[in-house]
A = this chain, B = another copy of it.
Amino acid sequence: MRVLGVDPGLTRCGVGVVEGVAGRPLTMLGVGVVRTPADAELGHRLVAVEQGIEQWLDEHKPECVAVERVFSQHNVRTVMGTAQASAIATLCAARRGIPVALHTPSEVKAAVTGSGRADKAQVGAMVTRLLRLDAPPKPADAADALALAICHIWRAPAQNRLQQAVAQHAANATKGRTA
């Protein structure tokens, strides 16, 4: 499974591509940051984020895009930019029919470090170890994007089983009604 992780942001949007399956060593295929100038108009910044994400989708053709689920506990200005960048990434993927999965920051931290309250350094250290890199990816947004992709690869089997169980249950219920 090849996953593009996106840590959304207007000033720095972290992107990272990881390939692998749960239980096997993972491979990093690319990591980077889509940047837009803080003094540019919002519209221009969103167009730049769109172009950046499109390039990553073109180049790596991921089967899934994992985006950080935006929360409100941050300060308002940041949340707006994050929500808007996340909307653009989600739009780009959905237009291509690529499924989009959302994971919360604590789900991502718990997946890669074992603790939902791990700090940036811990996440960076584990991403470096899990992907067998020479040094933690910089900036932190890039490392977070890789952590999102790893989190998705590891959580996907459980999520799929859950979805299948729900679908099976719904199918049985329908059968019950039509019988």
Contacts and interface: CB of A to CB of B under 8 A. Distances in A.
A95 B99 CA distance: 24
Chain A interface main SS type = helix
Contact of A47 (B70, B76, B86, B91): B91
Interface size bracket, A side: 20 to 34
Q: How many copies does the complex hold?
A: 2
B100 A41 contact: yes
A80 interface: yes
Interface string A67-80: 00011100010011
A94 B41 CA distance: 9
Nearest to A50: B91
A46 B94 contact: yes
